[in-house]
Amino acid sequence: MADTISDEQRAEMREIFRHYDEDNSGSIDCSELQHLMEALGAPIDDDECSMAVQALDADGSGKIEFNEFVDWWSGR
């Protein structure tokens, strides 16, 4: 699905990703994902967050990298 998004959409996703990547690590961890979900009006607790990160983390790093974020964001 990430292949079907426009450059403009990708740039918008990059801005969103950078905003929630609060420590500028290049990935979104569970705490940062909780802030994002709260902003979307769908707060999640620690257990839900752990499950969400595990589901979105395609490479098993324990965090959500930009490409994983794009796959999720473009499919919502």
What is the pLDDT, as a whole number, of residue 2? 54
Write the DSSP assignment of 35-68 as a string of letters.
HHHHHTT----HHHHHHHHHHH-TT-SSSEEHHH
Q: pLDDT at position 57, please?
A: 95
Number of domains present in the structure of the chain:
1
User: Distance between CA 64 and CA 69 in Å, rounded?
Assistant: 6
The CATH number covering residue 20 comes to: 1.10.238.10
33-70 pLDDT, tens digit per residue, is 999 999 989 999 999 999 999 999 999 999 999 999 99
In a domain, 31, yes or no: yes
Quick check: is 61 in a domain? yes
pTM: 0.84
**pLDDT at residue 75 in the model:** 77
Residue 50 included in any domain: yes
